[in-house]
Amino acid sequence: MSNILIIKHGSLGDLIQANGAIQDIKNSFKSSKVFLLTSRHYLEFMSGCPYLDGVLMDRRLPRWNLFYLLNLKQLLIKYEFSHVFDLQNSKRTKFYKKFLLKKPIWSSSETALEDGEKLSDFNESSVLNRMEKQLKKSNISIKNIHNIDLTWCFNKDISRNLKQYTNGDYILIFPFCSKKHVKKKWPYFSELIVKIKEIYKNKYPILVAPGPGEISEAKNFQAKIVLEREKPVDLSFLISLIKSAKYIVSNDTGPAHICSHLNKKGLALFGSHTTAKKVNIGNTNFKTLTVKNLSDLKVEDVIEKIKMDLN
C-alpha cells in the first residue's frame, strides 16, 4: 500500500473548491492512503473529510527557519509518499518539491502544461478547469471536480444555537474580507443592512458571522452577531449556518464559494480584482454582480437584485 500526498494550504474558498479534486484523487488510489498537507486553521475541519485518511499540518514558517524545514522534511519522508498532488501551486510548494520531496511523482500546474504552453496562459483558466487539466495529466479520472459534494461539512446541528438569533428565515451577510485583499471589500454593507430592514421589517433577521479578528468590526453593523461561546464559529458551524439561510450577500470570500457550491440563494459582489468565472462562483441561485470599482456599486442596485430574488 502506497501513500499519496495532496498539498493545499488554504484559503477556505480554495479548500472548498479542492474537495472535488480530493475525492477524484482518492477514487483513483482506492488501495492507497491519501493525506492532506494544510495550514493549522484548516486542520480540524479537513480532518472530517471522508476522502482523506489523514491530515498533516504545515506551520508555513519562513524558509530560512532550518529547524522547521528539517522537522517538516522528516515528517514527510516518514510517510514514503509515492505521489504528490500540489494543488496549492505556490512558490513555497515549488521549494518543497526541490528540497523536501524529491522522490515522489509530482503533479503541479507546471507538469500540466502542454508543449510550448506558458504558465501565465495556463493560469488564465478558471480554478476548477486548471485542477481538471492538472489531474488529467496524471491520469486521474475526473468526476467530481465540477460537482463538489459538501454534505460531509454540515453534520453539525446548530438548531439550538439559531434560536437565540431567529425563529425562522434569516438573511446572512458576509461583509468581511482578508486584510490582504481590501479590493474585494464592498464599503456599503452598513447601509445595505439598514435598507433591508426598512423593506422587510422583522421578516428576515440579519445575521453576520465574523471570523477571527472580525468581531470588533461586526459590532459596527446593525445585525445579530453569530458566535459560539463568545468566539467565532468553527467551519462546520459556518457551513451549516449558510445551508440554513434564506438568502446570503457576500464579498468575494471563502463563504461565497461555499454558498455557490451549496447552490444557495444569494449574491456575491465583484470588483475588477478578478472575475466570478475565473474563481468559479455563481449559478442560477447564487448570482454575481460585477462592477469595475466596488466603491461605485450603489446600495440601490444591490437591493434591486435582492428584491428580485426574495419577492
CATH assignment at residue 122: 3.40.50.2000
The whole-number pLDDT of residue 214 equals 94
Predicted structure pTM score: 0.92
Mean pLDDT (the chain, rounded): 94
Same-domain status, 30 and 161:
no
The whole-number pLDDT of residue 201 equals 87
Residue entry with cell 504528490: 84
Total domains in the chain come to 2
CA dist 144 → 20, 128, 131, 301 (Å)? 5, 10, 11, 35
Strands 171-174, 105-107: pairing kind: unpaired
Same-domain status, 133 and 198:
no
The whole-number pLDDT of residue 273 equals 87
* Residue 155: pLDDT over 80: no
Q: Identify the domain boundary among 120, 149, 178.
A: 149
Nearest to 172 by CA among 209, 210, 203: 209
Same-domain status, 144 and 157:
no
The whole-number pLDDT of residue 182 equals 84
Same-domain status, 289 and 207:
yes
Q: Identify the domain boundary among 149, 171, 188.
A: 149
* Full domain range(s) for residue 18: 3-149
Residue 172: count other Cβ atoms within 10 Å of its Cβ. 26
Nearest to 119 by CA among 100, 94, 136, 84: 94
Q: Which helix (H) or strand (E) holds 36?
A: strand 33-38
* Residue 153: pLDDT over 80: yes
Q: Identify the domain boundary among 149, 176, 199.
A: 149
Same-domain status, 255 and 209:
yes
Same-domain status, 11 and 128:
yes
Nearest to 7 by CA among 29, 30, 25, 31: 25
Mean pLDDT of 65-83: 96
Same-domain status, 220 and 71:
no
End-to-end CA distance of the chain: 56
Same-domain status, 125 and 261:
no
What pLDDT band is residue 169 in, cutting at 50, 70 and 90? very high
Q: Would the CA dihedral through 59, 146, 101, 76 be positive or negative?
A: positive
Nearest to 129 by CA among 145, 115, 150, 116: 145
Q: Taking each helix axis from N to C terminus, what angle separates 299-310 and 189-200, rounded to the nearest 10 degrees?
A: 40
Cβ-contact 267, 174 below 8 angstroms: no
* Residue 102: pLDDT over 80: yes
Same-domain status, 95 and 17:
yes
Same-domain status, 275 and 159:
yes
More confident residue, 181 or 288: 288
Same-domain status, 48 and 179:
no
Same-domain status, 143 and 9:
yes
Q: 268 forms bridges with which residues in the sheet?
A: 250, 288
The whole-number pLDDT of residue 157 equals 86
* Residue 127: pLDDT over 90: yes
